[in-house]
Amino acid sequence: MRLRSYLFLLILVAVLPMVGFSVMTVVSLFQQQHASITRGLVHLARAISVAVDRELNGSIDTLHALAASEHLDTGALARFDAQAKRVLWRHKSWSTVSLADASGQTVVDLLRAPDAALPFIGDREFFREVLASHRAVISDLAVDGSRGGGSLSVAVPVVRGQQVRYVLIAEIQPATFALVLASQRPAGDGTVSLLDRRRIFVAHAPRPERLVGTSAPEALARRVGAREEGVVSTVTGDGASVYTGFHRSALSGWTVAVGAPRAVVDAVLGRWLWRVGIVGLGLLALGLGAAWWFERRLRLPITAMSRSARAIARGTPLAPLPASPIAEVASLASAIEHADLLLRERAKERDRVEAELADQREQFRVTLTSIGDAVIATDEAGSIRFVNRVAQALLGRSAAELVGRPLDDGWLVVDEVSRTCLESPVARVIRDGVVVEMNGQPLLVGRDGAEIPIAGSMAPRRDAGGRPRGAVLVFRDITERRRAERERAELLERAQGARRDAEAANRSKDEFLAMLGHELRNPLGAIANAAYVLDLVGGAEPPAAQARQIIARQVKHVARMVDDLLDVARLTAGKIVLDRRAVNLAEAVTRCLHDLSAAGKTPRHRIALETEPVWAHADATRVEQIMANLVLNAVKHTPPDGSIRITVGPADGEARIRVEDTGVGIPPESLSRIFELFQQGPQTLARLGGGLGIGLTLVRRLVELHGGQIEAASEGPGRGSTFTVRLPRLPMPLPVLAPAPVADETAARRRILLVEDSQDAREMLRAYLAHLGHDVLEAEDGPRGVQAALRFRPDAAIIDIGLPGLNGYEVARRIRGVPHGEEMLLVALTGYGQPSDRALALEAGFDAHLVKPFDRDRLAALLARAPQRAGAAPG
């Protein structure tokens, strides 16, 4: 950088702090003015809010006085009507006065004719708040077409004997508050708005007709709702940027917002900044001019001395140096002349020493050239001073290209694993004076880009006094060794990667299927309960009854498909455990066909059943599942009015089930794959059979789990197909006496807590439980469920697992954690139906685990066994 540049920088260093200080001063003054203006907006909003509260308090005080009327004690409403009209006449801001009883029915309304029907206001929010709080309540703005626009209500309770007997209501037109706002609106383009608790404009000045009854802009409503008072910067509906000071009334919850155009507030800052900029630029120009004048006084003698220094470097005689009035410059010229004399004397001594060093370097070079490893020697600055032929070959560069250059220029080494560049250890070796080994997996990158694995170390080179004067790097090519190591590592990584991929895929599949079952069972449970409720309360007309039956059948159909899909996954993972016992296959098949027929699955097919008692050690539920899938497969691939023949009985010492149909048949090339997952037979465009292609896979896995076999046979397309199941046969067991019938306990009335986040599912289950005669409490998330259980102490709690806030497991643990929660019946109702889910529920403290859509008979039986708390009267 030239001298003049430094002088210019010196001026800037002196001037810029002053400019910065000036700017900071102006900004500080602007901020103070800005804060003063914005505080004024808040103070004005607070004052207007007080004026609005004063108007409201006047109405509340008048209503309290009117509420003390003795006519309300005696029920003389006609006399009270006359008294209220006199008050209304004096209160110009009121549009009407009405009186409602505690049920919400209006009994007096001064604006309605004596014979007119009086409205019911018990569902209005302000009315419910008055009943709950026993105090005066101010409503939000309401639009009432019958009254001719919007209105606000001030409601006061008429309390007699600690009970609210009537609610006295005065309706006030928004124009009343528009006058208050207009009287205190800021001058100029300022605005004043009055917002109710829903951020609806109650009044506005100027031009209230544009905004009253509309919602405040989203940005203003969001910011105003966060604090009681403050200042925010917003944009009006006209696109104008304004500062808005606001204050929310503690009496009514309404907010007064006072706005001032941002352009007016910020105009002062622009003028001040412009003046400071002009002054600063003038000072900077003055400083630069002065720097230029002084620069010439310094630059000319220094330039002459620079020429003399270059002459010394070349060894040529010096030219006479010009005199300078600056003492430092004159001293520097004298020093240069003295240095020239000393350098000439030392040049002779240098020539003698260099001759001796040349002889020593030659001896060193011959020694290192004969070494088999690559050798590089550097000086204390890290520059290469020697490199042997082996190192030149590995680096791909000649000695002429390397010697004299920093080692890092020709030494490009990367880590084989991280692919990051590794710096040469020369700096550490020279600094610490220690030997440094090459750790990790370094790769030397040659000029042609080839990567060579190396190993070696670097040691310090010291002078006679023991001080580091450089470093010697010795390294070798270990390509063959690294190749063998890499091959072993790659084989191990591939094996581990394949294992991780398989485990991840299996986990993802299980998680997906569990979530799929949960997400499908939740709506199925709600639909099933809704269909049942419709059966309880619906009409008996044939179309309605048929629609309810269709809903119930289709819910069962979808639930069966979900169960099949999850069963296939559990069978694949080996997670299904059979509940085996002696089963009469003839009875199981007959029962399955009856269920299918009742569900409308076989309405247009001729089904022939031939059974002979035969027993097997099997899971009855799974046997029916096998049979249902085989029959539905036959129905799906057999045209309407086709025939299906089913035979059950002993054969060749085994229990055999055979299903034959006259359907589309199976091509020979498909027989070998018919039991594979997602394999389906030929389908028409209409897909009359439907299905997921998992039924036969599930059948084969269940049959094999029972120790049996299944076979498929067909003579070709259009000639039907036959499926044969063979299971190990059992001898006929001894008859078992049927258990005595259990008395029906479902009529016992219980207090039941229902914790369910789905509103549809919660409402349908509540209707079902109410039909059983139970009293139902509701909670829509985990925290509210725990609070309700601890507060009301129900006899039983039905809890969904997937709840917001706290999941069902945590809800059960917290209920069980209190003394009165230990005996409560807890039932988990969820879409997660795997055995692990049931184990988690029982571990968390649940007494039972029901999967949606649930068995209503089982739920009714569980609730009947719930202990009824003493002293807890139902309802």
pLDDT at 332: 78
Three-state SS string over 237-288 comes to CCCCEEEEEEEECCCCCCEEEEEEEHHHHHHHHHHHHHHHHHHHHHHHHHHH
Output the pLDDT for position 869: 65
Instruction: Quickly list DSSP for 148-214.
Output: TEEEEEEEEEEEETTEEEEEEEEEE-THHHHHHHHHTPPSTT-EEEEE-TT-BEEEEES-GGGTTTS
CA–CA dist 856, 347 (Å, integer): 111
Nearest C-alpha neighbor of 201 from the set 164, 256, 247: 256
Q: Which of 81-95, 123-137, 203-217, 538-552 has the highest mean pLDDT?
A: 123-137
Question: What is the distance of C-alpha 557 from the center of its chain?
Answer: 34
Residue 167 confidence (pLDDT) above 50: yes
pLDDT digits (tens, 9 = 90+) for 333-366: 778 777 777 877 777 777 787 887 777 777 766 7
Q: Could you tell me if 790 and 856 lie in one domain? A: yes
Question: Can you tell me the mean pLDDT for 178-202?
Answer: 81
C-alpha 149/C-alpha 143 separation (Å) is 6
The b-or-e profile of 151-186 (16+ CB within 10 A means b, else e) is bbbbbbbbeeeeebebbbbbbbbbebbbebbeeebb
pLDDT exceeds 70 at position 784 = yes
Pick the range with the lowest mean pLDDT from 201-215, 557-571, 834-848.
557-571
| Contacts (Cβ under 8 Å, ≥6 apart) of 246 | 42, 45, 224, 229, 230, 231, 232, 255, 256, 257, 258
Q: Which two tokens stand for residue 127?
A: 């009315």
Structurally, the chain folds into a number of domains equal to 4
Residue finishing a domain among 228, 263, 298: 263
Range from 307-316, 487-496, 693-702, 749-758 carrying the lowest mean pLDDT: 307-316
List the CATH number of the domain containing 639. Answer: 3.30.565.10
Q: Which of 280-294, 471-485, 723-737, 785-799 has the highest mean pLDDT?
A: 785-799
The span from the CA of 274 to the CA of 165, in Å, is 70
Angle at 223 between CA 221 and CA 229, to 5 degrees: 105
**Residues 755, 725: one domain?**
no
Average pLDDT (239-267) is 83
Is-contact 283 15, C-beta < 8 A? yes
pLDDT band for 678, please (50, 70, 90 cuts).
Answer: low
pLDDT of amino acid 610: 92
To the nearest whole percent, how much of the chain has pLDDT over 70?
Answer: 81
Helix, coil or strand: residue 791: helix
Residue 633 lies in a domain: yes
CA–CA distance from 532 to each of 548, 549, 777, 788, 815 (Å)? 8, 10, 20, 27, 30
Residue 472 Rama label (left phi>0; alpha psi -120 to 50; beta): beta
61 and 108 together in one domain: yes
Residue 6 falls inside a structural domain: no
Q: What are the distances in angstroms from CA 402 to CA 256, 358, 377, 413? A: 80, 19, 11, 16
Among 435, 391, 438, 389, smallest CA distance to 410 is for: 391
Same domain? 722 vs 785: no
- Assess if residue 586 is contained within a domain: yes
What is the reported pLDDT for 269?
A: 59
Instruction: Clarify whether residues 408 and 462 are in a common domain.
Output: yes
- The pLDDT-based confidence of 270 (bands split at 50, 70, 90) is low
pLDDT at residue 659 tops 90: yes
pLDDT tops 50 at residue 455:
yes
User: Given strand 775-779, what is the order of strands in its sheet?
Assistant: 775-779, 751-755, 796-799, 825-830, 848-851
Judge whether 326 lies within some domain: no
Nearest one of 729, 727, 670, 664 to 696, comparing CA atoms = 670
| Residue 875 confidence (pLDDT) | 40
Angle formed by the axes of helices 808-816 and 835-844, nearest 10°: 30
CA distances from 60 to 26, 86, 138, 175, 695 (A): 50, 16, 9, 18, 74
Q: d(Cα 132, Cα 125) in Å, to the nearest integer?
A: 11
The helix (run of H) or strand (run of E) holding residue 616 is: strand 615-618
% of residues, the chain, pLDDT over 90: 15
Same domain, 252 and 384: no
Is 332 a domain residue?
A: no
Segment 724-740 mean pLDDT: 73
User: Residue 319: is its pLDDT beyond 70?
Assistant: yes
Judging by DSSP bridges, how do beta strands 721-730 and 615-618 pair with one another? antiparallel
618 and 766, same structural domain? no
C-alpha–C-alpha distance, residues 130 and 121, integer Å: 12
Q: Is the pLDDT of residue 2 over 80?
A: no
CATH (domain of 422): 3.30.450.20
Domain end position, chosen among 229, 263, 297: 263
pLDDT range class, residue 509, cuts 50, 70, 90: low
Per-residue pLDDT at 148: 45
Are residue 650 and residue 615 in the same domain, yes or no? Answer: yes
pLDDT tens across 602-635, in order?
A: 777 888 999 999 999 998 888 988 998 899 888 8
Residue 720 lies in a domain: yes
In this prediction, residues 135-160 reach a mean pLDDT of: 80
Question: Is residue 780 one of the residues assigned to a domain?
Answer: yes
Q: Which two tokens stand for residue 350?
A: 């240098």
Residues 603 and 703 in one domain: yes
Average pLDDT over residues 582-597: 88
Q: Is residue 244 included in any domain, yes or no?
A: yes
Specify the higher pLDDT residue, 462 or 553: 462
Q: Which of 59-68, 261-270, 512-521 holds the top average pLDDT?
A: 59-68
Instruction: Give residue 629's pLDDT.
Output: 87
Q: What is the pLDDT of residues 811-836, one digit of tens each?
A: 999 999 998 888 899 999 887 777 77
Q: What is the pLDDT of residues 364-415, one digit of tens each?
A: 667 667 777 888 888 888 888 888 888 888 888 888 888 888 887 777 888 8
Q: At which of 263, 278, 293 does a domain end?
A: 263
Which residue has better confidence, 348 or 765? 765
Residues 781 and 724 placed together within one structural domain of the fold: no
> What distance lies between CA 814 and its chain's CA centroid?
26
Joined together, the tokens standing for residue 616 give: 């097997």
Q: Which of 87, 86, 25 is nearest to 61 (CA)?
A: 87
- Containing domain of residue 584, as a range? 577-730
Label the pairing between strands 106-109 and 94-101: antiparallel
Same domain, 53 and 194: yes
Q: How many CA atoms lie within 13 A of 835 on its CB side?
A: 10
CATH code of 778's domain: 3.40.50.2300
What is the reported pLDDT for 516? 61
Asked whether residue 600 falls in the same domain as residue 722, the answer is: yes
* H helix or E strand, kind and range, residue 721: strand 721-730
